Amino acid sequence: MNETAPVPRGVSQAPTELLARRFSRQAAEFASAAARVRGAQDPQAFHDLRSSALALGVMLGMWSGLLDARPRRAALRGLRRLRRRLGTARQLEAYITLLGACCRPAAEGSREPVLSLLEDLRLRLRVRTERAARLLRPRRLRPLWARIGSASASLGTGRDDDARAFDRARAYLLGRRATARIAVEMALAHENDWLLRRARLGVETWRHALDSVSGTHTSDPDPGPVLRRLEEILDAALDRAALIAAIERRHRDGIRPGGFETVLGQLRAEKQAAFARFRTLAAAHGAHSPTRPSTARVPRITHAPGAARPASSSPGERWERMAQWLLGKGRER
Protein backbone atom coordinates (compact mmCIF):
# COMPACT_ATOMS: atom_id res chain seq x y z
CA MET A 1 0.00 0.00 0.00
CA ASN A 2 3.05 2.28 -0.19
CA GLU A 3 2.88 2.90 -3.92
CA THR A 4 2.91 6.54 -4.87
CA ALA A 5 -0.62 7.20 -6.06
CA PRO A 6 -0.68 8.16 -9.73
CA VAL A 7 -2.01 11.69 -9.92
CA PRO A 8 -2.50 14.21 -12.70
CA ARG A 9 0.72 16.19 -13.04
CA GLY A 10 -0.28 18.26 -16.02
CA VAL A 11 -3.43 19.28 -17.76
CA SER A 12 -4.59 17.53 -20.89
CA GLN A 13 -5.34 19.73 -23.89
CA ALA A 14 -8.83 18.26 -24.16
CA PRO A 15 -9.82 16.82 -20.75
CA THR A 16 -13.54 17.14 -21.33
CA GLU A 17 -13.40 14.98 -24.47
CA LEU A 18 -11.45 12.25 -22.67
CA LEU A 19 -13.77 12.35 -19.67
CA ALA A 20 -16.88 12.35 -21.87
CA ARG A 21 -15.67 9.11 -23.49
CA ARG A 22 -14.97 7.63 -20.07
CA PHE A 23 -18.44 8.58 -18.80
CA SER A 24 -19.96 6.94 -21.88
CA ARG A 25 -17.95 3.76 -21.37
CA GLN A 26 -18.86 3.55 -17.68
CA ALA A 27 -22.53 4.21 -18.41
CA ALA A 28 -22.46 1.40 -21.01
CA GLU A 29 -21.02 -1.01 -18.41
CA PHE A 30 -23.75 0.04 -16.01
CA ALA A 31 -26.46 -0.57 -18.64
CA SER A 32 -24.98 -3.98 -19.50
CA ALA A 33 -24.97 -5.06 -15.84
CA ALA A 34 -28.57 -3.83 -15.40
CA ALA A 35 -29.65 -5.91 -18.40
CA ARG A 36 -27.92 -8.98 -16.92
CA VAL A 37 -29.78 -8.49 -13.63
CA ARG A 38 -33.08 -8.32 -15.54
CA GLY A 39 -32.12 -11.53 -17.37
CA ALA A 40 -31.65 -13.32 -14.03
CA GLN A 41 -29.04 -15.69 -15.49
CA ASP A 42 -25.69 -14.24 -14.36
CA PRO A 43 -24.63 -14.93 -10.75
CA GLN A 44 -22.25 -11.94 -10.83
CA ALA A 45 -24.77 -9.45 -12.19
CA PHE A 46 -25.72 -7.78 -8.90
CA HIS A 47 -22.08 -7.45 -7.89
CA ASP A 48 -21.14 -5.92 -11.24
CA LEU A 49 -24.08 -3.52 -11.24
CA ARG A 50 -23.28 -2.22 -7.75
CA SER A 51 -19.61 -1.85 -8.73
CA SER A 52 -20.56 0.08 -11.90
CA ALA A 53 -22.80 2.37 -9.86
CA LEU A 54 -19.93 3.05 -7.45
CA ALA A 55 -17.53 3.74 -10.33
CA LEU A 56 -19.96 6.28 -11.84
CA GLY A 57 -20.37 7.90 -8.43
CA VAL A 58 -16.60 8.20 -8.02
CA MET A 59 -16.29 9.87 -11.42
CA LEU A 60 -19.04 12.33 -10.51
CA GLY A 61 -17.27 13.14 -7.26
CA MET A 62 -13.77 13.31 -8.64
CA TRP A 63 -14.53 15.66 -11.53
CA SER A 64 -17.07 17.78 -9.68
CA GLY A 65 -15.29 20.99 -10.69
CA LEU A 66 -16.08 20.39 -14.37
CA LEU A 67 -19.73 19.45 -13.87
CA ASP A 68 -22.96 21.29 -13.22
CA ALA A 69 -23.63 20.77 -9.52
CA ARG A 70 -27.39 20.15 -9.67
CA PRO A 71 -27.53 17.11 -12.03
CA ARG A 72 -24.30 15.78 -10.52
CA ARG A 73 -25.76 15.70 -7.01
CA ALA A 74 -29.05 14.26 -8.23
CA ALA A 75 -27.20 11.48 -10.09
CA LEU A 76 -25.09 10.71 -7.01
CA ARG A 77 -28.19 10.38 -4.83
CA GLY A 78 -29.82 8.05 -7.33
CA LEU A 79 -26.73 5.83 -7.66
CA ARG A 80 -26.31 5.54 -3.89
CA ARG A 81 -29.98 4.66 -3.46
CA LEU A 82 -29.71 1.98 -6.15
CA ARG A 83 -26.63 0.41 -4.54
CA ARG A 84 -28.41 0.20 -1.20
CA ARG A 85 -31.49 -1.41 -2.72
CA LEU A 86 -29.42 -4.09 -4.47
CA GLY A 87 -27.18 -4.95 -1.52
CA THR A 88 -29.27 -7.81 -0.14
CA ALA A 89 -29.58 -9.53 -3.52
CA ARG A 90 -25.82 -9.37 -4.02
CA GLN A 91 -25.30 -10.96 -0.59
CA LEU A 92 -27.79 -13.73 -1.38
CA GLU A 93 -25.88 -14.49 -4.60
CA ALA A 94 -22.71 -14.92 -2.56
CA TYR A 95 -24.43 -17.15 0.02
CA ILE A 96 -25.79 -19.46 -2.68
CA THR A 97 -22.40 -19.79 -4.39
CA LEU A 98 -20.67 -20.61 -1.10
CA LEU A 99 -23.30 -23.07 0.12
CA GLY A 100 -23.35 -24.81 -3.24
CA ALA A 101 -19.61 -25.41 -2.88
CA CYS A 102 -20.06 -26.61 0.72
CA CYS A 103 -22.79 -29.10 -0.26
CA ARG A 104 -20.54 -31.16 -2.51
CA PRO A 105 -18.12 -32.38 0.18
CA ALA A 106 -20.65 -32.16 3.07
CA ALA A 107 -21.01 -35.12 5.38
CA GLU A 108 -24.22 -37.14 5.04
CA GLY A 109 -25.76 -35.77 8.24
CA SER A 110 -25.27 -32.14 7.25
CA ARG A 111 -26.33 -32.34 3.59
CA GLU A 112 -30.10 -32.17 4.21
CA PRO A 113 -30.15 -29.00 6.38
CA VAL A 114 -27.67 -27.31 4.06
CA LEU A 115 -29.81 -28.14 1.02
CA SER A 116 -32.86 -26.84 2.87
CA LEU A 117 -31.13 -23.52 3.61
CA LEU A 118 -29.88 -23.35 0.03
CA GLU A 119 -33.43 -23.76 -1.29
CA ASP A 120 -34.65 -21.04 1.07
CA LEU A 121 -31.92 -18.67 -0.11
CA ARG A 122 -32.71 -19.38 -3.76
CA LEU A 123 -36.35 -18.54 -3.14
CA ARG A 124 -35.38 -15.26 -1.45
CA LEU A 125 -33.01 -14.41 -4.29
CA ARG A 126 -35.76 -15.13 -6.84
CA VAL A 127 -38.03 -12.65 -5.06
CA ARG A 128 -35.24 -10.05 -4.88
CA THR A 129 -34.34 -10.57 -8.54
CA GLU A 130 -37.95 -10.06 -9.64
CA ARG A 131 -38.10 -6.90 -7.55
CA ALA A 132 -34.81 -5.68 -9.03
CA ALA A 133 -35.98 -6.46 -12.57
CA ARG A 134 -38.96 -4.16 -12.02
CA LEU A 135 -36.71 -1.50 -10.51
CA LEU A 136 -34.32 -1.71 -13.48
CA ARG A 137 -36.88 -1.57 -16.25
CA PRO A 138 -35.87 1.09 -18.79
CA ARG A 139 -38.90 3.19 -17.89
CA ARG A 140 -38.04 3.10 -14.18
CA LEU A 141 -34.36 3.86 -14.85
CA ARG A 142 -35.13 6.78 -17.15
CA PRO A 143 -34.95 9.49 -14.44
CA LEU A 144 -31.56 8.23 -13.23
CA TRP A 145 -30.29 7.99 -16.81
CA ALA A 146 -31.44 11.56 -17.40
CA ARG A 147 -29.51 12.80 -14.35
CA ILE A 148 -26.35 10.93 -15.37
CA GLY A 149 -26.70 12.17 -18.94
CA SER A 150 -27.24 15.76 -17.82
CA ALA A 151 -24.20 15.60 -15.54
CA SER A 152 -22.03 14.14 -18.33
CA ALA A 153 -23.32 16.66 -20.85
CA SER A 154 -22.40 19.49 -18.49
CA LEU A 155 -18.65 18.66 -18.65
CA GLY A 156 -16.73 21.89 -19.00
CA THR A 157 -19.54 24.07 -17.62
CA GLY A 158 -18.64 23.71 -13.94
CA ARG A 159 -17.17 26.34 -11.69
CA ASP A 160 -13.52 25.34 -12.26
CA ASP A 161 -11.16 25.81 -15.17
CA ASP A 162 -9.16 22.77 -16.28
CA ALA A 163 -6.17 23.45 -14.03
CA ARG A 164 -8.26 23.84 -10.89
CA ALA A 165 -10.41 20.82 -11.80
CA PHE A 166 -7.29 18.65 -12.07
CA ASP A 167 -6.00 20.03 -8.79
CA ARG A 168 -9.31 19.19 -7.13
CA ALA A 169 -9.31 15.71 -8.69
CA ARG A 170 -5.82 15.12 -7.37
CA ALA A 171 -6.93 16.07 -3.85
CA TYR A 172 -9.90 13.70 -4.19
CA LEU A 173 -7.62 10.86 -5.30
CA LEU A 174 -5.16 11.41 -2.46
CA GLY A 175 -8.06 11.49 -0.01
CA ARG A 176 -9.37 8.11 -1.23
CA ARG A 177 -5.86 6.70 -1.07
CA ALA A 178 -5.44 7.86 2.53
CA THR A 179 -8.86 6.51 3.49
CA ALA A 180 -8.12 3.09 1.98
CA ARG A 181 -4.72 2.82 3.64
CA ILE A 182 -6.07 3.74 7.07
CA ALA A 183 -8.98 1.30 6.71
CA VAL A 184 -6.68 -1.53 5.60
CA GLU A 185 -4.27 -0.99 8.48
CA MET A 186 -7.08 -0.79 11.04
CA ALA A 187 -8.61 -4.01 9.65
CA LEU A 188 -5.21 -5.71 9.90
CA ALA A 189 -4.83 -4.56 13.49
CA HIS A 190 -8.25 -5.68 14.74
CA GLU A 191 -9.55 -8.38 12.32
CA ASN A 192 -13.05 -7.00 12.73
CA ASP A 193 -15.75 -7.67 10.12
CA TRP A 194 -17.01 -4.08 10.16
CA LEU A 195 -13.45 -2.79 9.62
CA LEU A 196 -12.92 -5.33 6.85
CA ARG A 197 -16.00 -3.93 5.10
CA ARG A 198 -14.61 -0.41 5.46
CA ALA A 199 -11.31 -1.61 4.00
CA ARG A 200 -13.12 -3.32 1.10
CA LEU A 201 -15.08 -0.20 0.22
CA GLY A 202 -12.02 2.02 0.63
CA VAL A 203 -9.89 -0.13 -1.67
CA GLU A 204 -12.57 -0.31 -4.37
CA THR A 205 -13.21 3.43 -4.21
CA TRP A 206 -9.49 4.14 -4.53
CA ARG A 207 -9.25 1.81 -7.53
CA HIS A 208 -12.18 3.50 -9.27
CA ALA A 209 -10.59 6.90 -8.57
CA LEU A 210 -7.37 5.68 -10.19
CA ASP A 211 -9.35 4.45 -13.21
CA SER A 212 -11.01 7.84 -13.43
CA VAL A 213 -7.70 9.63 -14.00
CA SER A 214 -6.00 6.99 -16.16
CA GLY A 215 -4.94 8.50 -19.46
CA THR A 216 -4.81 12.07 -18.11
CA HIS A 217 -1.27 11.73 -16.76
CA THR A 218 1.89 9.65 -16.87
CA SER A 219 1.65 7.23 -13.96
CA ASP A 220 4.07 5.27 -11.88
CA PRO A 221 3.51 1.47 -11.84
CA ASP A 222 -0.24 1.05 -11.62
CA PRO A 223 -1.45 -0.28 -8.22
CA GLY A 224 -4.83 -1.13 -9.77
CA PRO A 225 -4.16 -4.90 -10.14
CA VAL A 226 -3.06 -5.16 -6.50
CA LEU A 227 -6.15 -3.26 -5.36
CA ARG A 228 -8.40 -5.53 -7.39
CA ARG A 229 -6.74 -8.59 -5.83
CA LEU A 230 -7.26 -7.10 -2.36
CA GLU A 231 -10.95 -6.62 -3.20
CA GLU A 232 -11.29 -10.27 -4.22
CA ILE A 233 -9.60 -11.50 -1.04
CA LEU A 234 -11.70 -9.21 1.16
CA ASP A 235 -14.85 -10.37 -0.65
CA ALA A 236 -13.89 -13.98 0.14
CA ALA A 237 -13.45 -13.19 3.84
CA LEU A 238 -16.54 -10.99 4.16
CA ASP A 239 -18.90 -13.31 2.26
CA ARG A 240 -17.93 -16.17 4.53
CA ALA A 241 -18.29 -14.01 7.64
CA ALA A 242 -21.77 -12.94 6.55
CA LEU A 243 -22.86 -16.50 5.77
CA ILE A 244 -21.56 -17.72 9.14
CA ALA A 245 -23.64 -15.00 10.84
CA ALA A 246 -26.72 -15.94 8.79
CA ILE A 247 -26.43 -19.62 9.76
CA GLU A 248 -25.90 -18.75 13.41
CA ARG A 249 -29.03 -16.58 13.34
CA ARG A 250 -31.02 -19.59 12.16
CA HIS A 251 -29.66 -21.55 15.10
CA ARG A 252 -30.68 -18.83 17.54
CA ASP A 253 -34.14 -18.67 15.94
CA GLY A 254 -34.52 -22.45 16.29
CA ILE A 255 -34.88 -23.03 12.54
CA ARG A 256 -33.47 -26.49 11.79
CA PRO A 257 -30.73 -26.28 14.41
CA GLY A 258 -27.82 -28.66 14.07
CA GLY A 259 -26.34 -30.22 10.97
CA PHE A 260 -24.25 -27.18 10.13
CA GLU A 261 -21.19 -27.90 12.27
CA THR A 262 -19.12 -29.22 9.37
CA VAL A 263 -20.13 -26.35 7.09
CA LEU A 264 -19.46 -23.73 9.77
CA GLY A 265 -16.05 -25.23 10.45
CA GLN A 266 -15.21 -25.11 6.74
CA LEU A 267 -16.43 -21.52 6.38
CA ARG A 268 -14.46 -20.35 9.43
CA ALA A 269 -11.30 -22.01 8.13
CA GLU A 270 -11.76 -20.42 4.69
CA LYS A 271 -12.38 -17.01 6.26
CA GLN A 272 -9.17 -17.27 8.27
CA ALA A 273 -7.26 -18.36 5.17
CA ALA A 274 -8.62 -15.35 3.26
CA PHE A 275 -7.62 -13.01 6.09
CA ALA A 276 -4.11 -14.51 6.06
CA ARG A 277 -3.89 -13.82 2.30
CA PHE A 278 -5.12 -10.28 2.91
CA ARG A 279 -2.45 -9.73 5.57
CA THR A 280 0.30 -11.14 3.35
CA LEU A 281 -0.64 -9.12 0.26
CA ALA A 282 -1.19 -5.87 2.17
CA ALA A 283 2.13 -6.26 4.02
CA ALA A 284 3.94 -7.01 0.75
CA HIS A 285 2.74 -3.65 -0.56
CA GLY A 286 3.60 -1.54 2.47
CA ALA A 287 0.76 -1.89 4.98
CA HIS A 288 2.56 -2.06 8.32
CA SER A 289 2.05 -4.84 10.82
CA PRO A 290 -0.26 -4.15 13.77
CA THR A 291 2.51 -5.47 16.03
CA ARG A 292 4.78 -2.47 15.47
CA PRO A 293 4.28 1.30 15.32
CA SER A 294 3.25 2.90 12.09
CA THR A 295 6.02 4.18 9.85
CA ALA A 296 3.85 4.83 6.82
CA ARG A 297 4.17 8.20 5.17
CA VAL A 298 1.05 9.86 3.84
CA PRO A 299 2.17 12.58 1.45
CA ARG A 300 0.84 16.06 1.78
CA ILE A 301 -1.12 17.41 -1.15
CA THR A 302 1.06 19.35 -3.56
CA HIS A 303 -0.13 21.35 -6.51
CA ALA A 304 0.98 21.64 -10.09
CA PRO A 305 2.76 24.95 -10.84
CA GLY A 306 0.24 27.58 -11.70
CA ALA A 307 -2.74 25.43 -10.72
CA ALA A 308 -5.29 26.89 -8.36
CA ARG A 309 -5.37 25.38 -4.87
CA PRO A 310 -8.63 23.77 -3.72
CA ALA A 311 -10.30 25.29 -0.72
CA SER A 312 -8.62 24.34 2.57
CA SER A 313 -11.82 22.66 3.73
CA SER A 314 -12.02 20.31 0.71
CA PRO A 315 -12.70 16.63 1.50
CA GLY A 316 -9.31 15.63 0.10
CA GLU A 317 -7.36 17.88 2.44
CA ARG A 318 -9.51 16.96 5.44
CA TRP A 319 -8.78 13.28 4.80
CA GLU A 320 -5.07 14.03 4.44
CA ARG A 321 -4.99 15.81 7.82
CA MET A 322 -6.89 12.91 9.39
CA ALA A 323 -4.50 10.38 7.84
CA GLN A 324 -1.44 12.30 9.05
CA TRP A 325 -2.88 12.47 12.57
CA LEU A 326 -3.90 8.81 12.71
CA LEU A 327 -0.58 7.60 11.33
CA GLY A 328 1.50 9.86 13.57
CA LYS A 329 2.70 12.08 10.74
CA GLY A 330 1.61 15.52 11.75
CA ARG A 331 4.44 17.04 9.76
CA GLU A 332 6.81 15.85 7.06
CA ARG A 333 10.35 14.96 8.09
Name the residue with higher pLDDT: 252 or 328: 252
> Which pLDDT tens digit goes with each residue over 63-109?
988 899 999 999 999 999 999 999 999 999 999 999 888 766 554 55
pLDDT at 285 over 90: no
Q: E strands along 155-293, which residues?
A: none
Side-chain-side CA neighbours of 290 within 13 Å: the count stands at 12
d(CA 143, CA 79): 11
Between vectors from CA 251 to CA 248 and to CA 256, what angle results, nearest 5°?
A: 130
Percent helix, strand, coil in the chain, to 5, is: 70, 0, 30
What pLDDT, on a 0 to 100 scale, did the predictor assign at position 21? 87
Mean residue pLDDT of the chain comes to 79
| pLDDT value of residue 46 | 93
- Which residues in 190-248 belong to E strands, given as ranges? none
Confidence band (pLDDT; 50, 70, 90) for 256?
low
Q: What is the mean pLDDT of residues 253-262?
A: 65
- Whole-angstrom distance, CA of residue 247 vs CA of residue 229: 27
All structural domains of the chain with their residue ranges: 14-159, 161-333
CATH class in words for 14-159: mainly alpha
Mean pLDDT for the stretch of residues 188-193? 90
Q: Residues 223-230: contacts with CB within 8 Å, 24+ apart? A: 223/3, 223/5, 223/6, 223/285, 226/3, 226/281, 226/285, 227/180, 227/203, 229/281, 230/184, 230/203, 230/278, 230/281, 230/282
